[in-house]
Chain A
Amino acid sequence: MSTLKILVIDDEPGIRSGISRILRNFRVDYPFMEEAFDFVVQEASTGEAGIELIETDKPDILLLDNKLPGIQGVEVLEYIRKKQMNIIVVMITSYASLELAVKATSDGAYDFIPKPFTPQELKSSIENITKRVFLKKMTNKLQETGKQIRFQFLSVLSHELKAPLNSIEGYLQMIRERQAGPQLESYDYMVDRMLERIKGMRTLILDLLDLTKVTSGKGTRDIREINLVDIAHTAIDTMRPYSIQKDIKLNLHGNDVVKVMADNEEMEIIFNNLISNAIKYNREGGTVDCTISEDGSCVEILVEDTGIGINPEDLNKIFDDFVRIKSEKTRNITGSGLGLAIVKKLIDTYKGTIEVTSQPDIGSKFKVKLPIDKPCS
């Protein structure tokens, strides 16, 4: 038997004691788990008190009301996320604030329970979470036995490099065995797929080269005053043939000169990635708008598209190494999943920021801010 610690943060004493009562003798036991789980419940009536308990007692699961007397539930959520704590958060909210709950879900909450809830609703939510905790534990265990290398860059990289090789090797074997018969045309699909995988590998290698520029940085960096608009023009020109193919209009807005202290090549990498994504993940006949402007001590680069968009739950993943969103819409688009990771790392070295907002099937908007004359670190 394992015991999971649950913390309830809610200002209504009735809810707190209700939850404690419902879960007191509750137990989750699945045939595929090697052990059953039961629960201990702690209570806090404010976000502030809750955070203290989070620090001292490290709960596994947090049931969080959003409307609290002091700091709000979402702020507690933010605190947990910032500190990258391994706590599964469930928002308890009334239907009136369902929208907020949905937003909270994209901010890192795992689930939400509408208020008022029945004991059964609470139990089934806790049951789901327990399953999740269990599987996480299991996968963590697997990773530990693998000396935790899976999430290290190199091992993911080796996976990314091997996958296309395996696929090409598989096709070549099929061809060698004449598996599709004597007709040469029957092998067209295989050849196309091999070329596609090779293209993917080439992209990956190019992106890796960009990445080494970021991480080795400093020595080769050449920081001087440059005009971002020139760089945007170059990037757009490079991308032109690609956009014509997809019938996408590329527009550049703003002043003719926007100066910033930065490395030319690094700025090119940022533009290339943002603009190529805006084309790649666009629809046929769509538009890409790039706007460069000055805003006090910062320059702002906006890249907007009219493409497939990104689901809210995927938004904060896309800047991680090797992350690509898999869906029917992205199925035939090649990429390494490194582009935005590189962009983010670069921008961090300038102490700038990058934000994304997006609506599925409508479009995405990437906003970069860079300090004009203080490139740091």
Chain B
Amino acid sequence: MTTKKTILIVDDDQDYLYQLKARVESFGFQTLLAESQKEAEELILKTKPDLAILDLMMENEDSGFILCYKMKKKYPEVPIIIATGVAAETGISFDINDENNRKWIKADLFLEKGIRKEKLKEEIDNLLIKMNS
């Protein structure tokens, strides 16, 4: 029997959290939820997820980065997706594949919040495979 992989989802919008949880669970994963950077930090003390999806702006505008940094320090092998609505609102877009950005944003992937369901599943699967190989 294979146990389900656990995905940590952190977002301060409780509705987005609920919807993403439902979606991710429909892919066959287990979820772990936190509504703030602080809550997430407490959670990861005790539990190690297989992958994390973090919102960029929570209690502070850089919460997602800081959380990402802390997670990578504790669990360097756990892949992290940073989900953001930023690009849509401000025209800022990150390119995680850009070497410069990679150096300081230790996330494995940046995703737009409005991403299609199939695409999300594909990205999660890819990251999990990459990390396990």
What residues of chain A have their CB less than 8 Å away from a CB belonging to chain B?
30-34, 135, 138-139, 142-143, 145-147, 149-150, 155, 158-159, 162-163, 166-167, 170-171, 174, 179, 193, 197, 326, 331
14 more CB-based (< 8 A) A-B contacts, given A147-B91, A158-B89, A166-B114: A32-B103, A32-B105, A34-B103, A139-B61, A146-B86, A146-B91, A150-B90, A166-B85, A166-B113, A167-B19, A171-B15, A179-B22, A179-B26, A326-B36
> Which of B2-10, B43-51, B62-70, B118-126 participates in binding chain A?
B62-70
Determine the interface band of chain B, counting residues with CB < 8 A from chain A: 20 to 34
Q: Which residues of B are found within 8 Å of A158, using beta-carbon distances?
A: 89
**Contacts of B19 on A, CB cut-off 8 Å?**
167, 170-171, 174
Contact A166 B16 (CB under 8 A): yes
Pairs across A and B, CB under 8 Å, 11 listed: A32-B103, A32-B105, A33-B104, A147-B90, A147-B91, A150-B86, A150-B90, A162-B89, A166-B16, A166-B113, A170-B19
Q: Is B129 among interface residues, defined by CB-CB distance under 8 A? A: no
- Chain B residues contacting A34 (CB-CB under 8 Å) are 100, 103-104
Considering only CB atoms, which chain A residue lies closest to B18 in the complex? A193
Q: Which residue of A lies closest to B87 (CB)?
A: A146
Report yes or no: A170 in contact with B16, Cβ–Cβ below 8 A.
yes
Evaluate contact between B15 and A193: CB separation under 8 angstroms: yes
Contact B62 A162 (CB under 8 A): no
Chain A CB within 10 A, most for which of B26, B104, B114: B104
For the complex, would chain B's binding face be called helix, strand, loop or mixed by DSSP majority? Answer: helix
Give the shortest distance, in Å, between A164 (CB) and chain B (any CB).
Answer: 8
Q: Is the CB of A32 within 8 A of B15?
A: no
**B114 and A135 contact, CB distance less than 8 A:** no
- Tell me the minimal C-beta distance from B61 to chain A in angstroms: 5
Assess A138 versus B69: contact at CB under 8 Å? Given A170-B16, A326-B12: no
Could you tell me the distance in whole angstroms from the C-beta of A27 to the nearest C-beta in chain B?
17
Q: Tell me, rounded to whole Å, the shortest Cβ–Cβ distance linking B74 to chain A.
A: 13
CA separation between A146 and B57, bound complex, in Å? 15
Q: Are B13 and A155 in contact (CB under 8 A)?
A: no
Q: A163 to B104: give the CA distance in the assembly, Å.
A: 28
Residue B1 at the chain A interface, CB threshold 8 Å:
no
Shortest beta-carbon distance from A79 to chain B in Å: 26
Whole-angstrom distance between the Cβ of A36 and the nearest chain B Cβ: 12
Q: Which residues of B contact A193 (CB under 8 A)?
A: 14-15, 18
A-B interface, 4 closest residue pairs, ranked by CB to CB distance from nearest? A167-B15, A146-B90, A146-B92, A170-B19
Complex Cα spacing A34 to B102, Å: 10
- Contact in complex: B92, A32 (CB < 8 Å): no
Q: How far is the CA of A162 from the CA of B13 in the complex (A)?
A: 12
CB-nearest residue of chain B relative to A328?
B35
Is B13 a contact partner of A145 (Cβ separation < 8 A)?
no
Indicate which residue in B18, B59, B89, B100 contacts A155 across the interface (CB closer than 8 Å): B89
The chain A residue with its CB closest to the CB of B91 is: A146
Q: A33-B104, A135-B66, A193-B15 are in contact. Are A326 and B59 (CB under 8 A)?
A: yes
Given A32-B69, A34-B104, A138-B104: A167 touches B16 (CB 8 Å cut-off): yes
Do A159 and B103 have beta carbons less than 8 Å apart? no
* Bound Cα distance A31, B91 (Å): 28
Given A146-B90, A159-B85, answer yes or no on A32-B106 (Cβ-Cβ < 8 Å). Answer: yes
Min distance, Cβ A328 to any Cβ of chain B, angstroms: 9
Closest chain-B Cβ to A298's Cβ sits at a distance in Å of 37
Bound CA–CA A33/B101 (angstroms)? 10
Q: Which residues of B contact A179 (CB under 8 A)?
A: 22, 26
Contact, CB under 8 Å: B90 / A135? no
| Separation of A263 and B39 alpha carbons in the complex (Å) | 46
CB distance from B77 to the nearest CB of A (A): 15
